[in-house]
Amino acid sequence: MKPFTTLTAVAVPLDIVNVDTDRIIPARFLRQPRSAGYENFLFADLREADASFVLDRAEYRGAQILVAADNFGCGSSREGAVWALAGSGLRAWIAPSFGDIFFENSFKNGVLAIVLPPGRVTELRAALEAKPGASMSIDLAAQTVTGPDGRVDRFDVDPFRKECLLAGLDEIDLTLRHEADIAAYEDRRRRERPWLG
């Protein structure tokens, strides 16, 4: 995974509550292999219904930060939703709340999910809508978000998730850091308890 330290990028507002994983990537596309490019199916139904969908507007092209509404990523546990968003270039999303499994899947795929108070997230979306193409900054080490209005907000992040993102490590990479210790334990176990096989 690519380390996440700081990010200053265009931010895109998505002012729709309860965006479930089926809206992010409709189930019919999950039959495709991930190599087919899940980002090509991102918000497919919303984009088909609305030619001026926010992610298709020129001002937000290349956005790497998504500022969403309440309960973003709710619904089924499909990891493909995170793959589609991350595949489109988004590295962080901010919302007042997330679906639990989507929230976990974000970190496991190297994406920072930030929870800020509902009123502040509404202000951020309004500022981004008023000034399309505006940038925001995120500093993971300092745990701060700087909005397009210049205001700095602190956010909480689990220390383990923070360490993984800063180092660009997933859970397998973390386990492999201890490969020698694991091999030594397995060797010792075979010698001390040969009946276990």
CA distances to 62, 130, 135 from 58, rounded to whole Å, are 9, 15, 14
Q: Which CATH superfamily is domain 6-168 in?
A: Aconitase, domain 4 (3.20.19.10)
Please write the tens of the pLDDT for every residue from 30-82: 888 888 899 999 999 999 999 999 999 999 999 999 999 999 999 988 899 99
- Residue 109 token pair: 């795929």
For the entire predicted model, the pTM comes to 0.89
Cα–Cα distance between 16 and 163 in angstroms, integer?
31
pLDDT given for residue 185 in this prediction: 87
